[in-house]
Structure 1
Amino acid sequence: MAKHCLLLCSLFLLATTAAYGGRLGGWQPISSSDPHVKAIGRFAVHTHNATLEFDSVLKAERQVVSGYKYRLVLAAVDGGEGRTKHYQAIVYEKGWNHKLLSFKPLLKSF
């Protein structure tokens, strides 16, 4: 019985690792045009600074944790300058709860 349990656990771990591209818990690219990803981008911009206006998600990655972490490269218009700038945001999501973990400007254009 113990051998069967060990075999099943090993197969599960192998299948799970393969499903995540061999990097269990690593960052995986996701679609930046997904409406849910765009909503998370809007949340990040608004939470960080109400004077920024969300424009788009340029790049998106997701990490499976006890929930999800999203690492997004965002374009947002600076209300004071009227210029579009790029930012990297990391948002934690668990159920309906969201938390902005980091938001920083990117120095080079994406």
Structure 2
Amino acid sequence: MARNSLSLLFVFLAILLASALNEASPVWQRKTIHGPGWRPINNPKDPQVVEIAKFAVTEHNKEASTALAFEAVVKGETQVITGTYWLVIAAKDGSATGSKQYQAVVWDEQSLKFRKLVSFIEISN
């Protein structure tokens, strides 16, 4: 059991490191992620994708003391082997008119019933 926990820790640290590197690099500024294992999400209205996106907005609201309201998943990609989702989410801020778009990275490990918001940033449309 300790070996599984250690493996999980290494995967988590690898995702955090990749996320930090991606945020600092010009690649992160593009509208899509390119790399091994990433595949586009063909149906952004898929209930599982929507659930993960709503989780991202809820967690961001808790962490940043904001009141964003989820509207839709615009697009996304997933890396199935790591359970990582990269999503562009439309959300409305109660104090602003219209919606804004946000880039969210969520680590979702269904077999362990574990979900973590890795990053959540506003992007310009």
**Percentage identity across aligned positions?**
42
Alignment-mate amino acid for residue 94 of structure 2: G
Show the counterpart of 2:69. 53
TM-score, normalisation: structure 2:
0.62
Q: Give CA deviations for 1:46-99 in whole Å, capped at 9, x if unaligned.
A: 110150000000002100334x10000000000121430000000001122110
5+ residue gaps, structure 1, are 1-22
Write the mapping of 1:59-74 to structure 2, written as runs, cut at 5 A: 59-66=75-82, 68-74=83-89
Higher strand share: 1
Q: In structure 2, which of residues 50, 56, 66 is the aligned counterpart of residue 44 of structure 1?
A: 56
After the TM superposition, which parts of structure 1 deviate over 3 Å for at least 4 consecutive aligned residues?
A: none
Once residues 58 and 42 of structure 1 are traced to their aligned partners in structure 2, the CA distance between those partners, rounded to angstroms, is: 13
Higher helix share: 2
Alignment-mate amino acid for residue 55 of structure 2: F
TM-score, normalisation: structure 1:
0.70
Q: Counterpart of 1:90 in 2: which secondary structure?
A: strand
Computing the radius of gyration from Cα coordinates, the structure with the larger value is 1
Cα offset, 1:24, TM superposition: 8.6
Q: Counterpart of 1:80 in 2: which secondary structure?
A: coil
Show the counterpart of 1:16. none
| 2:87–2:104 contact (8 Å) kept in structure 1 | yes
Q: How large is the Cα RMSD of the aligned pairs?
A: 1.8
